[in-house]
């Protein structure tokens, strides 16, 4: 959604980094580029003026002129101002003290209210609530049926006493206000903790729509009225939000279709214009593509700083704690990482959702956006097919995978032998990493070239040598051609190595016992035969 805006802003800030001092001309030029980027992203003009004015005032102040790195300080200011116009901090739903919490959804037709009702119900169900969906949209064809399908997918009951309109041109049947009131009574009788009322929308704002929404609100007195808005509608978002605020007076905003490829100015405009917080965001078609809106995290995504916290939260939901404990125990015991483990980890990774979304949450991924977009999500499916074509014995003992076995696996998975070879090679690299983690006491080893202390890869060939005085290297002579003399050289070398090995050395060797000459076979005559 914010790809274009993010690219424009990061490109602008790139010109500031590395400068020891920023002139007023530098700041004005930066503000000009930020203004253009925001306007191109369909952010409301009034919001752009307020935002750039605040940034310029702070950028010309002491906090930038006195900073050691003024370029980074400007980025910090922009980040803080972005968080401010997005709401400052996330707001949770207000729950009723007595009886069920009533949530009413309002918005234009096509904004995604019905699908969002199912997502919100699924989200609340995961938190331990018992939601009930009420089908009060009797105007759109098959809206009631759609809500029933969505409710079934979410595992949430739907109260739908009226069928509503079932085909185009059919006259509206039933009274949505009465349906909403009956739904509230039904929830009280069945002791549901939350009631979510799905209301009708229109293709445009009109008096009839506002009157119906206002009547429903008056009848059920909801604890929350959520205005559902399509994040792809651009400048119209401000006018629509203002009309609904005056007609219904909503308490929070939900952004839908945030995974679209439009400019996304609605997200940066609605909160500032209406003063109402953005509470949730819908980012896809699945029930799980729904998240609490965090202004600081969204600002981080826009500025290509990543959203690691959301990534961690998704991982905690998707990953099996028992499986994680089993893997941790396996690593601590020094057991080898197998294809069975690889398959288990990959399946849990798939449960987190789209790999593209996850990669996009990592800091600095804006520079790799093209590679991420070209990433084939089906690669995980192909890898899974290859591993599942192996026998349990082959998964636990990859060394058994000779040529004929690999050919059989290729036929069984519909892949080529080259694909099998490539996967085995990547698996061996992962296996080596797991071994290195175990040898390093459960910590991630440093990458080659990073250096490090005892146990790090820096102590291995190719690692960064430690600074300071180095012990003089003993010149090693070549091995003698005489078998008797060569045996003596090997024994002496073994003796030196055992004395020099220190506890916790780079290779993980412990303290060795002093060399005992009597342990060497002194009878060298056999070598002369």
> Residue 416, annotated ligand binder?
no
> Residue 178, annotated ligand binder?
no
CATH architecture of 101-305: 3-Layer(aba) Sandwich (3.40)
Domain-wise residue ranges, the chain = 3-85, 101-305, 313-439, 483-528
Given the structure tokens 């996330």, which residue do they identify? Answer: 90
Per residue in 16-64, pLDDT tens?
Answer: 766 677 788 888 888 888 888 888 877 888 888 888 888 888 888 766 6
Q: Give the integer Cα–Cα distance in Å for 71 and 74.
A: 5
Mean pLDDT by 10 residues, the chain (529 residues): 70 72 82 85 83 86 68 82 83 87 89 90 92 90 90 92 76 82 91 91 77 89 90 76 85 82 68 86 84 82 66 65 68 74 77 68 62 72 89 88 92 91 86 72 46 35 39 48 64 57 37 43 43
Contact criterion met (CB below 8 Å) for 274 and 245: yes
The pLDDT of residue 260 is: 62
In the chain the first and final C-alpha atoms are separated, in Å, by 81
> Residue 326, annotated ligand binder?
no
- The H-or-E segment that residue 38 falls in is helix 24-40
Residue 194 bridge partners (DSSP): 101, 131
Q: Where are the alpha helices (DSSP H) in 108-222?
A: 113-126, 143-154, 176-190, 207-220
> Residue 199, annotated ligand binder?
yes
CATH of 313-439, one of 1.10.260.30, 3.30.420.40, 3.30.1280.10, 1.10.3660.10: 1.10.260.30
Summary mean pLDDT of the chain: 75
> Residue 493, annotated ligand binder?
no
Residue 377 CB neighbours (<10 A): 10
> Residue 184, annotated ligand binder?
no
> Residue 446, annotated ligand binder?
no
Given the structure tokens 């061996």, which residue do they identify? Answer: 428
- The residue among 495, 489, 527, 528 whose CA lies nearest residue 514 is 495
Q: Give the integer Cα–Cα distance in Å for 249 and 227.
A: 9
Contacts (Cβ under 8 Å, ≥6 apart) of 426: none
464: left (phi over 0), alpha (psi -120 to 50) or beta: beta
Q: Give the integer Cα–Cα distance in Å for 443 and 142.
A: 56
> Residue 333, annotated ligand binder?
no
The pLDDT of residue 72 is: 77
Report the helix count and the strand count for the chain, using DSSP H and E.
22, 8
> Residue 113, annotated ligand binder?
yes
Q: Give the integer Cα–Cα distance in Å for 282 and 270.
A: 16
> Residue 9, annotated ligand binder?
no
Q: Give the integer Cα–Cα distance in Å for 262 and 70.
A: 32
Q: Give the integer Cα–Cα distance in Å for 478 and 482.
A: 12
> Residue 336, annotated ligand binder?
no
- The residue among 232, 284, 340, 161 whose CA lies nearest residue 2 is 232
Residue 208 CB neighbours (<10 A): 10
Given the structure tokens 């119209």, which residue do they identify? Answer: 236
- Residues 167-193 as b or e (16 or more Cβ within 10 Å = b): eeeeeeebebbebbbbbbebbeeeebb
> Residue 183, annotated ligand binder?
no
> Residue 453, annotated ligand binder?
no
The pLDDT of residue 141 is: 84
CATH architecture of 3-85: Up-down Bundle (1.20)
């Amino acid at each position: 959604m914010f790809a274009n805006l993010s690219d424009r802003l990061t490109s602008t800030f790139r010109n500031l980094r590395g400068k020891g001092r920023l002139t007023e001309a530098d700041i004005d030029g930066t503000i000009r580029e930020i203004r253009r980027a925001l306007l191109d992203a369909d952010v409301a003009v009034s919001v752009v003026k307020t935002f750039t004015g605040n940034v310029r005032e702070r950028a010309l102040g002491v906090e930038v002129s006195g900073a050691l790195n003024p370029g980074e300080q400007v980025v910090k200011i922009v980040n803080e101002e972005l968080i401010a116009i997005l709401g400052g901090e996330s707001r949770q739903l207000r729950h009723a003290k007595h009886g069920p919490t009533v949530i009413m959804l309002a918005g234009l037709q096509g904004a995604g209210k019905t699908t969002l009702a199912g997502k919100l119900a699924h989200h609340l169900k995961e938190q331990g609530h018992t939601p009930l969906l009420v089908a009060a949209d009797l105007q759109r064809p098959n809206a009631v049926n759609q809500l029933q399908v969505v409710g079934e997918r979410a595992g949430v009951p739907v109260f739908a006493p009226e069928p509503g309109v079932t085909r185009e041109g059919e006259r509206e049947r039933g009274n949505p206000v009465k349906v909403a009131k009956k739904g509230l009574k039904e929830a009280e009788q069945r002791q549901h903790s939350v009631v979510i009322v799905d209301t009708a929308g229109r293709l445009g704002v009109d008096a009839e729509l506002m009157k119906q929404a206002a009547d429903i609100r008056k009848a059920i007195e909801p604890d929350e009225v959520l205005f559902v808005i399509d994040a792809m509608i651009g400048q119209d978002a401000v006018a629509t939000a203002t009309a609904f605020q005056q007609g219904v007076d909503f308490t929070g905003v939900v952004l839908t279709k945030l995974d679209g490829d439009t400019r996304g100015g609605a997200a940066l405009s609605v909160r500032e214009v209406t003063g109402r917080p953005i509470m949730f965001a819908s980012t896809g078609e699945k029930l799980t593509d729904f998240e609490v809106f965090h202004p600081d995290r969204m600002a981080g995504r826009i500025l290509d700083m990543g959203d690691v916290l959301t990534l961690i939260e998704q991982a905690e939901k998707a990953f099996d704690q028992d499986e994680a404990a089993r893997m941790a125990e396996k690593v601590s015991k020094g057991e080898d990482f197998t294809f069975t483990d690889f398959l288990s980890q990959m399946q849990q990774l798939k449960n987190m959702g789209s790999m593209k979304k996850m990669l996009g949450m990592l800091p600095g991924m804006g520079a790799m956006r093209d590679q991420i977009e070209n990433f084939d999500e089906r690669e995980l499916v192909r890898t899974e097919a290859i591993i599942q074509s192996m026998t349990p014995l082959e998964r636990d003992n990859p060394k058994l995978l000779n040529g004929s076995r690999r050919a059989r696996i290729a036929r069984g998975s519909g892949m080529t032998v080259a694909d099998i070879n490539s996967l085995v090679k990547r698996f061996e690299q992962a296996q080596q990493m797991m071994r290195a983690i175990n040898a390093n006491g459960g910590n991630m080893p440093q990458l080659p070239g990073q250096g490090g202390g005892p146990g790090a890869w820096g102590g291995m060939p190719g690692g960064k040598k430690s600074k300071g005085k180095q012990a003089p290297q003993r010149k090693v002579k070549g091995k003698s051609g005489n078998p008797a003399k060569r045996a003596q050289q090997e024994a002496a070398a073994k003796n030196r190595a055992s004395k020099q090995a220190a506890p916790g050395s780079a290779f993980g060797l412990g303290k060795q016992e002093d060399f005992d000459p009597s342990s060497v076979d002194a009878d060298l005559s056999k070598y002369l035969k």
